[in-house]
């Protein structure tokens, strides 16, 4: 096994510094198994931030499906094969009626790019709406559509003229604000709107749940401006909310376009866009093609992930244990004033650190100390939000009650060690 110092030397030589190392110090990870990661020194870490490996690191059923299909056929979608139509049909059946046409791609960035292309082709408009703090991908256009990036370190600092930023409907930091009126004001001052790209819970903005009915109002206002509602489910979907398969369903709305990614391949590079047949046909005579999107191996893996979600009842698991986790964090909040807010749905949770509950001054330093302390105790967490003072929890969906109890006990140890 290569020594960590040699790996870091090679990384520094060949990998861009823009790709940071997580968890505050280099962890030489050599194995993943369900909700755990193992380092080269034998340390086992409970992974509470990896919503990519949705049904668990290296889930044996998913691994087996990929291996088996790879030994038989791996080609592109210009051919007809059972896996593609079977998988797209199954995904479509999890969505509301009307969202019947799917496009298979390889990443959430690719999927969001395609969703915007569809919206512009269908409406004939160009401008886009996004929520402040949002992140939607790493391409040039999606960085321009991600306030988390263009207003963050290294960013331009202002939105492009065709990007219109709607303030965050944050019921903790901006309680009492008329969020719908704010949204309406932004849209009324926008140009010709092609769409509103938004997550059903704002992830990088700090795990912020949307107020009830917010997406329904967003769709109405966007439609009046000539655009479509595009819901980005890459981080929050696929049963993670527990009560519903897709997070937008909690908002009593049917989007015009839905973007799926990350979790649908359990670590294998997969993503998808679903929309109506009318919107899908807007691409016209220009052919759409992805060399590896929806290839037989990807479809086999995707079907296996769906099987595991159903067979192991992981959506209900997320509801039950997400509620249990949330309640445990709320009890810690009662003890430690540094925790200003606890929020989330299912296994998508955030808890925010503040210097003072009255002023709500963000305490990024305390949040970072807690992350480091938990890492040293074998639990991986990370921070998010514009002030990096929100600790996010979005683990593999196979997390157990024992894992949660251990985490809560260790959090209590770390918080008490640092004082309140």
Instruction: Say whether both 215 and 361 belong to one domain.
Output: no
Q: For the chain, give the percent of residues with pLDDT over 90.
A: 85
- Residue 135 has a pLDDT of 92
Q: Are 105 and 114 in contact (CB under 8 A)?
A: yes
pLDDT, averaged across the chain? 94
Radius of gyration (C-alpha) of the chain in whole angstroms: 21
Instruction: Say whether both 100 and 245 belong to one domain.
Output: yes
The DSSP element (H or E) to which 393 belongs, if any, is strand 390-393
Q: Are 145 and 128 in contact (CB under 8 A)?
A: yes
CA 74 to chain centre: 28
pLDDT of 350-387, one tens digit each? 999 999 999 999 999 999 999 999 999 999 999 999 99
- Predicted model pTM: 0.95
- Residue 151 has a pLDDT of 85
- Look up tokens 């719908």; give the residue: 180
* Nearest to 235, CA basis, from 34, 54, 59, 47: 54
208 pLDDT band (50/70/90 cuts)?
A: very high
Instruction: Say whether both 167 and 276 belong to one domain.
Output: yes
What's the CA gap between 385 and 238, in Å, rounded? 23
- Residue 420 has a pLDDT of 44
What range does the domain containing 16 cover?
A: 4-55+313-418
1 pLDDT band (50/70/90 cuts)?
A: low
Instruction: Say whether both 35 and 83 belong to one domain.
Output: no
Tell me how crowded residue 419 is: count the other CB atoms within 10 A of its CB: 8
Q: List the CATH number of the domain containing 339.
A: 3.90.1150.10
Instruction: Say whether both 272 and 322 belong to one domain.
Output: no
Q: List the CATH number of the domain containing 150.
A: 3.40.640.10
pLDDT of 240-276, one tens digit each? 999 999 999 999 999 999 999 989 999 999 999 999 9
What's the CA gap between 232 and 270, in Å, rounded? 14
What's the CA gap between 12 and 97, in Å, rounded? 50
Name the token pair of 186: 């932004």
User: Is the pLDDT at 419 greater than 60, yes or no?
Assistant: no
Burial class (CB in 10 A: 0-12, 13-18, 19+), 152: middle
What's the CA gap between 291 and 78, in Å, rounded? 9
Mean pLDDT over residues 222-251, rounded? 96
pLDDT of 133-145, one tens digit each? 999 999 999 999 9
Q: Which residues are registered as beta bridge partners of 362?
A: 354
pLDDT of 269-309, one tens digit each? 999 999 999 999 999 888 888 889 999 999 999 999 999 99
Instruction: Say whether both 344 and 222 belong to one domain.
Output: no
Measured CA distances, 191 to 166, 221, 256 (Å)? 14, 13, 20
| Domain end marker among 287, 311, 335 | 311
Instruction: Say whether both 175 and 292 belong to one domain.
Output: yes
| Domain end marker among 311, 329, 347 | 311
Q: Which residues are registered as beta bridge partners of 271?
A: 105
Name the token pair of 393: 């929890």
Instruction: Say whether both 27 and 67 belong to one domain.
Output: no
Dihedrals phi, psi of 342, to nearest 5 degrees:
-130, 130
Q: Are 133 and 385 in contact (CB under 8 A)?
A: yes
User: Is the pLDDT at 128 greater than 80, yes or no?
Assistant: yes
User: Is the pLDDT at 412 greater than 70, yes or no?
Assistant: yes
Q: Are 57 and 34 in contact (CB under 8 A)?
A: yes
What's the CA gap between 410 and 418, in Å, rounded? 12
Instruction: Say whether both 306 and 172 belong to one domain.
Output: yes
- Residue 10 has a pLDDT of 84
- Residue 77 has a pLDDT of 82
| Domain end marker among 268, 293, 311 | 311
- Residue 17 has a pLDDT of 82
pLDDT of 60-82, one tens digit each? 999 999 999 999 999 888 888 99
Q: For the chain, give the percent of residues with pLDDT over 70.
A: 99
- Residue 86 has a pLDDT of 95
Helices 296-311, 314-335: axis angle to 10 degrees equals: 70
Instruction: Say whether both 262 and 375 belong to one domain.
Output: no
Instruction: Say whether both 373 and 294 belong to one domain.
Output: no
Number of domains present in the structure of the chain: 2
The DSSP element (H or E) to which 193 belongs, if any, is strand 193-198
Mean pLDDT over residues 178-186, rounded? 96
What's the CA gap between 118 and 65, in Å, rounded? 32
What's the CA gap between 315 and 320, in Å, rounded? 9
Mean pLDDT over residues 310-323, rounded? 97
Q: Which residues are registered as beta bridge partners of 275?
A: 101, 257
The bridge status of strand 44-47 relative to strand 379-380 is parallel
User: Is the pLDDT at 104 greater than 70, yes or no?
Assistant: yes
Instruction: Say whether both 322 and 307 belong to one domain.
Output: no
The bridge status of strand 29-33 relative to strand 36-39 is antiparallel
Q: Which residues are registered as beta bridge partners of 230?
A: 197, 257
The bridge status of strand 228-232 relative to strand 193-198 is parallel
- Residue 260 has a pLDDT of 97
């Amino acid at each position: 096994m290569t020594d960590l110092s040699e790996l870091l030397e090679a990384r520094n030589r060949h990998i861009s510094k823009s790709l940071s190392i997580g968890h505050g110090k280099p962890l030489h990870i050599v194995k993943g198994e369900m909700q755990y990661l193992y380092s080269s020194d034998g340390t086992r870490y409970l992974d509470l931030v990896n919503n990519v490996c949705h049904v668990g690191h290296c889930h044996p059923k998913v691994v087996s499906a990929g291996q088996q299909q790879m030994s038989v056929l791996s080609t592109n979608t210009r051919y007809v094969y059972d896996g593609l139509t079977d998988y797209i049909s199954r995904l479509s059946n999890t969505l509301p009626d009307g969202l019947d046409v799917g496009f298979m791609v390889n990443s959430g960035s690719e999927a969001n790019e395609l969703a915007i292309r569809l919206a512009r082709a269908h409406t004939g408009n160009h401008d886009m709406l996004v929520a402040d703090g949002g992140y939607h991908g790493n391409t040039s256009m999606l960085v321009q559509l991600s306030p988390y990036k263009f207003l963050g370190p290294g960013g331009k600092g202002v939105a492009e003229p065709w990007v219109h930023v709607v303030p965050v409907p944050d019921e903790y930091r901006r309680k009492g604000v008329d969020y719908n009126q704010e949204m309406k004001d932004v849209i009324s001052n926008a140009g010709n709107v092609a769409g509103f790209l938004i997550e059903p819970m704002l992830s990088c903005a700090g795990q912020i749940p949307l107020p009830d009915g917010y997406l329904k109002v967003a769709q109405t206002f966007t439609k009046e401006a000539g655009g479509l509602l595009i819901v980005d489910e890459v981080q929050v979907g696929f049963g993670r909310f527990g009560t519903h398969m897709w997070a937008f369903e909690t908002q009593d709305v049917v989007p015009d376009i839905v973007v799926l990614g990350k979790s649908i391949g359990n670590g294998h590079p997969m993503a998808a866009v679903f929309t109506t047949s009318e919107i899908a046909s807007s691409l016209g005579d220009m052919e759409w093609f992805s060399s590896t999107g929806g290839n037989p191996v990807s479809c086999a893996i995707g079907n296996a992930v769906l099987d595991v979600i159903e067979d192991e009842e992981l959506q209900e698991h997320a509801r039950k244990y997400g509620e249990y986790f949330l309640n445990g964090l709320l009890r810690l909040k009662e003890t430690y004033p540094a925790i200003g807010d606890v929020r989330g749905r299912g296994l998508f949770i955030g808890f925010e650190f503040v210097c003072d509950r009255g002023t709500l001054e963000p305490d990024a330093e305390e949040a970072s100390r807690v992350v480091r302390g938990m890492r040293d105790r074998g639990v991986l967490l990370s921070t998010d939000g514009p002030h990096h003072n929100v600790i996010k929890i979005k683990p593999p969906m196979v997390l157990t009650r024992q894992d949660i109890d251990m985490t809560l006990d260790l959090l209590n140890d770390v918080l008490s060690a640092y004082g309140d």
